[in-house]
Amino acid sequence: MSEVKERRLRVGKTFRIFAALMSVMLLAGACGSDEPEEGAAEKIDIWVVGSIQVGGTFWDQIEAGAKAAGEMIADAEVTYIAPEEYSYPNIDAMIQTAVAANPDAVLVDYRSSDFEDTVVGALDKGIEVQFFNNYVGTDSADSRIRRLSATAVGLDKAAASKRSAVLYTEFVSPGDSLVLFNSLPDSSEHLEIQNAYVEVFLDAGWSEDDLDIVDLPGLDPAPNFEAIKTYLAAYPDVDGIVTWDTSSGTPAAQAKADIGSSVPLVMWNLDQTVISGVKDGTVQLSLTQQPFLQTYYAVVSAYLKVKYGLIDPAVIDPGTLIVNSDNVDEVEGLFNAGYVG
C-alpha cells in the first residue's frame, strides 16, 4: 500500500473515531422519547442570525448547517432568522429580534460595528454570543467584542483571497489586463477581499494600471450580468476576470459564454452554473467557503459555552476549498448533497 493511501486511511480512521466520540457526547439521551422526562432540563435555546434570505446556495447552507447541528445535539433548539433584503440596519434588526427572545445564545455574522450596541446588549443580559463568517471587530473598544471577533468560526477572507489569487496566476501573466468586479464595494468584507487580490497581483509583477476595479450594482445577478457583459464588449482585450461571489461570478460566466470569451475567470462559491462552467472551462477556479460547516461548528461552539461554561472554544477555520477541473466531479456530489456551496 502506498504511503499516501496509508496516510489517507489513518486520517479517515482518526476522523471516524473523533466523529463517534463527538456523537456519543452530544447525542446522549437522543435515543429516548422525544417528550422530556419530568424534571428534565429544558433545551438550550440558540438563535442564528443570517445576513439575507436568498435562494443562493451560500445562505441556504448557512441555514442548513445551523439546523443540522441543532438536530445532532439532543438538548439544543436552534432557530434561524435572516432579513429578506441585505443591509446593515436589516441585519441589526434581526439580531435585536433574536436578543428580544432572550435565548441562551445568539450567533451573529458580525460584519460591522453597526451591530455592536445590539451585541453588547445581549452580552449584558447574560446571553452567550458566537460570531461566524467574519473576523470584524478586533479593533472594538469592548474587550468582549474583540475576543469574539478573534474567535469567530469562519474563513479568513484575506488569506482565502490570496490563496485563490496565487493559483489564478497560473492562468494569467504579469502585465495582463485584469478586471476585478466588486458587487458590494461599500462592504468592509468585500473591500478586504479586493485588497488582498490586488496585493497578490502587485507582488507578482502586475502594475496598478493593469488592474481595473469595477463596482457592480449590488447582489442582484441580473443587473450584474448586464454590467459585466457591457464591460466585456467595451474592453474585448481584457485578459482575466476576478470576482468573489456568485452574484457576480455566475453572471460573469454567463456573459463570457454569451460573447464566446475564453478569458480565465476566478470566483467564489458554487451553483450549478459555476459547476458546469468549471467542467466546460468557462470558469477556471472557484473557492468554496464551506458555509455549511461555518454555522455547524458555530452552533456547537455556542452550545459548549452554555452547557459547560467554556469561555472560548477552539478557533475553527472551516476550510478553503478551491474547485477546479481536477476535483469538480467530487465537489458536485457534495454540492448536490447540500454540504458545499
Q: Which of 34-38, 209-213, 333-337 has the highest mean pLDDT?
A: 209-213
Residue 38, C-beta contacts closer than 8 angstroms, at least 6 positions apart: none
Which CATH superfamily does the domain covering 42-154+290-318 fall into? Response regulator (3.40.50.2300)
Residue 296, pLDDT > 60, answer yes
Question: What does the pLDDT read at residue 235?
Answer: 96
Domain boundaries, the chain: 42-154+290-318, 157-288
Please count the residues of the chain. 341
Q: What's the rounded mean pLDDT across residues 188-210?
A: 96
pLDDT recorded at residue 38:
53
Confidence tier at 37 by pLDDT (50, 70, 90)? low
Q: How far is CA 293 from CA 67, 133, 296, in A?
A: 11, 10, 5
The CA distances from residue 12 to 15, 108, 158, 165, 339, in Å, are 5, 32, 30, 30, 18
Which region among 10-14, 120-124, 173-177, 330-334 has the lowest average model confidence (pLDDT)?
10-14
The secondary structure of residue 156, as a DSSP letter, is -
Q: If phi over 0 gives left and psi between -120 and 50 gives alpha, with beta otherwise, what is residue 281?
A: left
**Across the beta sheet with 44-49, what order do the strands follow?**
76-81, 44-49, 105-108, 128-131
Please compute the mean of the pLDDT values over residues 78-83 and round it to a whole number: 97
Listing DSSP states for 88-109 in one string gives HHHHHHHHHHHHHT--SEEEE-
Query: Taking residues 151-179, what's their average pLDDT?
Result: 94
Q: Compare 293 and 56 and report the one with higher pLDDT.
A: 293
Mean pLDDT confidence for 36-44 = 67
The CA dihedral of 236, 238, 244, 245, to the nearest 10 degrees, is 10
- Where does the pLDDT of residue 57 fall: very low under 50, low under 70, confident under 90, or very high at 90 and above? confident
Percent of the chain with pLDDT over 90: 72
Report the pLDDT averaged over residues 247-265. 94
The CATH number of 157-288, from 3.40.50.1100, 1.10.132.50, 3.40.50.620, 3.40.50.2300, is 3.40.50.2300
Return the pLDDT at 274: 92
Copy the grid coordinates of residue 183: 458587487
Render pLDDT for 60-74 as a digit per residue (tens, 0 to 9): 899 999 999 999 999
| Radius of gyration in angstroms for the set of CA atoms belonging to the chain, rounded to a whole number | 21
Contact 296, 65 (CB under 8 A): yes
Q: How confident is the model at residue 319 (pLDDT cuts 50, 70, 90)?
A: confident
Residue with cell 473515531: 17
Lowest mean pLDDT among 151-155, 162-166, 169-173: 151-155
Which of 207-216, 302-311, 314-323 comes out lowest in average pLDDT?
Answer: 314-323
From CA 107, how far away is CA 92, in angstroms rounded?
12
Mean pLDDT of the chain: 88
pLDDT at 180: 98
User: How do 285-288 and 321-323 pair as beta strands?
Assistant: antiparallel
Spatial neighbors of 83 by CB under 8 A, at least 6 apart, are 51, 52, 53, 90, 91, 93, 94
The confidence score (pLDDT) of residue 307 equals 96
pLDDT at 340 over 80: yes
Do the domains 42-154+290-318 and 157-288 sit in the same CATH topology, yes or no? Answer: yes
Q: Determine which of 30-34, 181-185, 297-301 has the lowest per-residue pLDDT on average.
A: 30-34
pTM score, whole prediction: 0.79
Q: Do the Cβ atoms of 178 and 240 come closer than 8 Å? A: yes
Provide the 3-class DSSP secondary structure of residue 158.
helix
What separation, in Å, do the N-terminal and C-terminal C-alpha atoms of the chain show?
A: 34
